[in-house]
Amino acid sequence: MAKIKVVGQGECEFDGQFSMLEALDESGFDMPYSCRGGNCGACEVKLVSGQVEEIQMPAYEADDGYILTCSCIPMSDVEIEIP
Ligand code: FES
């Protein structure tokens, strides 16, 4: 299982949830989000290390080095930073 580490907050396991957002949410992290569908950009976080795969084609385009937690799953242990 991949680990998701949130800088300054701790970490959780990704265990086949729909998205990184869902895994973090279930584990009690206070994640920013709104639409959960790749449209609003509210869930955008910095990808510090690791690799992710998009599970849906987001309408919102994340900045370079940033990802939408509602639209990705981890492909390795990842480290993210909430801006
Ligand atoms: S929650 Fe809206 S883009 Fe992720």
Transcribe 44-77 into DSSP letters.
EEEEEES-EEESS--SS-PPTTEEEGGGEEESS-
Top CATH class of 2-81 equals alpha beta
Domain spans, the chain:
2-81
Give the pLDDT confidence of 11-45 residue by residue, as tens digits: 999 999 999 999 999 999 999 999 999 999 999 99
What distance in angstroms lies between residue 12's CA and the mean position of ligand 1's atoms?
20
What is the CA(71)–ligand 1 centre distance, in A?
Answer: 7
* Residue whose C-alpha is closest to residue 46's, from 80, 17, 7, 74: 80
Handedness of CA 49, 52, 56, 59 (dihedral sign): positive
Whole-structure pTM value: 0.96
* Tens-place pLDDT, residues 43-74: 999 999 999 999 999 999 999 999 999 999 99
Using most ligand atoms within 8 A of CB, pick from 33, 45, 57, 61 the residue to mutate for ligand 1.
Answer: 33
